[in-house]
Amino acid sequence: MHAPSHVDTVTGNFVTFGGHAYGRGGGGLHVAPFGQSAGPATAAVQPVELLNTVHFWSRGGGGFGAVLGGGEVGAGVATGVGVGRGGFAMITGDCSCGGGGVGCGSDCSGWPGAAWLIGCDGGVDDDTKHAGTAASVMTNGFANDRRGVRAAMRGRYARCQPSATRDLVRRPSARPSDTFVAMKSVVICVVIALATTAHADKLTGDDLARKNEDGYVTGLPLFAYTTDIGLGAGARAYYFFNGKRDDPRFATTPYLFRTFIQAFVSTRGIQFHWLDFDVPRVADSPFRLRSQLIFQRNVNSNYFGIGKRSLEPLHFPGSASDYSSYSDYTKAQEQIANGTTWGKYDQYDILRPVALLGVERLFADNRIRVLGGLGFSWTRIQDYTGKQVDALDANGNDTTATMGTTRLAADCAAGLVVGCGGGRDNSIRLAFSYDTRDFEPDPNRGVFIDAEVDASTAALGSEFSYVRGMIAARGYYSPIPDRADLVVAGRFVIVGQTNGSPFFSMNTFPFTEDPRTGLGGHRTLRGFRQDRFVGSVMTVANAEVRWTWGHACILKQKLAFMAVPFVDAGRPFDSLGELTYKDWQPTYGAGFRVSWNLATIAVIDYGISREGTGLYINFNHIF
């Protein structure tokens, strides 16, 4: 290629033209108009005409991201794993960076193309703040690596483009080798993601140019509604510290440390307050440090018995009947008979502060994660037996009455459970995970397998001694990516614990990403009440079909709409030796979900079980 005569200046690693900066680097990026390949990088730039607009592209090494409209991009490396990540994109607009070769965590991306990308799926992992109007992936700087192709991101957000542009960028050539070295392009809209995971990959030059030095504060409101917690609201405030530009970690981490504080309450007596601290690379090492202080309280925590006993039909001492409907069951419990009510028969009040400390290490191109940590907690249990609780009089009016003996009090008196008085529960944690998902918030394909062992021991000051182990597997598959944006997703989990586990901890599913509790509720068996089934051994299987049926761009926010039919099944066991396929408790239902700027998933799920229904409004897929 030849440099145009009107290049303003050539200095260092950047070429300026008309006041705009373009990067250059070594490694021989295949660039140039429509697939002509370039040799070793020089200072030259090449004009390219797209949509009747002339733009100037840099030549770079092993993949490169371009900045049009100002900014900087650092050079790639010869292997194609540097900035640009084995691809190249041209974007118009006031703010842009590479796409189809974009680095992770971009603050300013425009409409990135997405085709050949190593590590970040199809140019998707950007935190975009400004969008241009057109994009086109031109080449593949590392022609043999195509695992960044994400089935054209299922065509996601292509409708945000004008039709002429969409036709241009989505129509593949009959013979790619005749016109492009490597091109299978799609246009996707990427904007602000609410949360960004730290990556070891170097940030793009556009990120570095816009990344703040030192610290800053941000925040967001919280909202949720479920049948179990009622209406919940709160807020979370973040403080990020990025350090100085001369720190080598500045270019490889989203922050040197991050902390946030959260307050959350609900109308059904839930409190969940949280202080979190995260250091992605401790002292410039490959280790990551996480710590959390959590205060949680639930004045209506459920207890329906342990193991096989929790599978029995709903019943309580004040009635000779068994109930198939949870709604009928609770209405009957609230009635007053001989001055006694049973409205809190299946509830207790739990208060539990928790301190967690963990250290992580990534291996194998960030696919394998090993985690070790410690957990410390103290639990206070308050039972409702003999207390004045809400009730209904003979006319159906609200009043109060004395609570009879709760299910928990009866089981404690019979010696059926451990931990009736609460106490210290301190443990050591070891976890392993293997992750090939193409995009963590909303996977299109891949697997995620995690395994964990927790051991509570007196050596850490615990009042309980037990071991808990869990294995969980999730899979994602797009059966017809060329015809429909359809994903089949599945999960299977088994968790077991030894005798000595306190009843208030037995409901834990210790997922490495986000621990969950109990069989029942939004995250496990939708349609059953939270913690409806708990046992020494618990299993759960979930299957969803996630069909993205529509797209919209509203006020520069990119939305995708999903219909999600689902089925769930699970059950508790008293021991591993009793595992069987019989008596699993099934649920089914459907959800409406909205992908907001790709990474944030708003969820409305409605589940149906043999005992009733559940409505759940929250964020993120359940797996």
Where in the sequence is the domain holding 14, given as residue range(s)?
Answer: 1-208
Q: What tens digit of pLDDT does each residue of 480-517 get?
A: 999 999 999 999 999 999 999 999 999 999 998 778 88
CA distance 83 to 90: 15
- Backbone φ and ψ of 272, nearest 5°: -145, 100
CA distance 36 to 162: 27
CA distance 155 to 485: 7
Is 611 among the domain residues?
yes
Indicate if 180 and 48 belong to the same structural domain.
Answer: yes
Could you give the number of structural domains in the chain?
A: 2
Q: Place 615 in a pLDDT band, splitting at 50, 70 and 90.
A: very high
3-state secondary structure of 409: helix
Would the pTM of this model clear 0.85, i.e. be above it? no
Structural contact between residues 491 and 473, judged by C-beta atoms closer than 8 angstroms: yes
Indicate if 556 and 454 belong to the same structural domain.
Answer: yes
CATH number of the domain encompassing residue 411: 2.40.160.50
Q: Place 252 in a pLDDT band, splitting at 50, 70 and 90.
A: low
Is 505 among the domain residues?
yes
How far lies 180's CA from each of 1, 35, 172, 185, 522, in Å? 16, 4, 10, 11, 47
Boundary (domain end) residue, out of 208, 230, 245 = 208
How many other CB atoms sit within 10 Å of the CB of residue 6? Answer: 9
pLDDT exceeds cutoff 70 at 3: no
pLDDT exceeds cutoff 80 at 266: yes
What's the rounded mean pLDDT across residues 245-259? Answer: 78
Structural contact between residues 111 and 218, judged by C-beta atoms closer than 8 angstroms: no
How many degrees, rounded to 5, is the angle at CA 408 between CA 407 and CA 414? 90
Helix/strand/coil percent split, the chain, to 5? 10, 40, 50
Q: Output the pLDDT for position 201.
A: 44
Q: Which is nearest to 99 in space by CA: 108, 111, 83?
A: 111
How many other CB atoms sit within 10 Å of the CB of residue 39? Answer: 9
Q: Place 190 in a pLDDT band, splitting at 50, 70 and 90.
A: very low
Indicate if 165 and 313 belong to the same structural domain.
Answer: no
Selected residue with higher pLDDT from 98 and 300: 300
- Backbone φ and ψ of 205, nearest 5°: -60, -35
Selected residue with higher pLDDT from 101 and 275: 275
Q: What tens digit of pLDDT does each residue of 114-166 get?
A: 332 223 333 333 333 333 333 333 222 322 332 333 333 333 443 444 333 33
Is 223 among the domain residues?
no
Among 63-67, 292-296, 417-421, 480-484, which stretch is predicted with the lowest mean pLDDT?
63-67
Indicate if 19 and 115 belong to the same structural domain.
Answer: yes
Indicate if 586 and 483 belong to the same structural domain.
Answer: yes
Indicate if 547 and 420 belong to the same structural domain.
Answer: yes
Structural contact between residues 358 and 349, judged by C-beta atoms closer than 8 angstroms: no
Q: Output the pLDDT for position 210.
A: 61
pLDDT exceeds cutoff 90 at 621: yes
Is 221 among the domain residues?
no
How many CA atoms lie within 13 Å of 330's alpha carbon, on the beta-carbon side? 10
Question: Which of the residue ranges 248-262, 269-283, 537-551 has the most confident prediction, judged by mean pLDDT?
Answer: 537-551
Q: What tens digit of pLDDT does each residue of 422-447 get?
A: 999 999 999 999 999 988 889 999 99
What's the rounded mean pLDDT across residues 79-97? Answer: 32
Q: Output the pLDDT for position 275.
A: 96
Indicate if 508 and 610 belong to the same structural domain.
Answer: yes
Is 246 among the domain residues?
no
Indicate if 189 and 308 belong to the same structural domain.
Answer: no
Selected residue with higher pLDDT from 100 and 522: 522
Q: Place 556 in a pLDDT band, splitting at 50, 70 and 90.
A: confident
Boundary (domain end) residue, out of 171, 186, 208 = 208
Average pLDDT, the chain: 73
pLDDT exceeds cutoff 50 at 89: no
Question: Which of the residue ranges 55-69, 110-124, 135-149, 201-215 has the most confident prediction, judged by mean pLDDT?
Answer: 201-215
Q: Where are the beta strands (DSSP E) in 174-256?
A: 215-226, 230-241
Q: Output the pLDDT for position 515.
A: 82
Is 601 among the domain residues?
yes
Give the helix ranges, DSSP H, for 48-194: 163-170, 176-179
- Residues counted in the chain: 623
pLDDT exceeds cutoff 50 at 375: yes
Is 316 among the domain residues?
yes
Is 245 among the domain residues?
no
Q: Output the pLDDT for position 365.
A: 80
Among 62-66, 385-389, 493-497, which stretch is predicted with the lowest mean pLDDT?
62-66
pLDDT exceeds cutoff 60 at 196: no
3-state secondary structure of 261: strand
Boundary (domain end) residue, out of 145, 177, 208 = 208
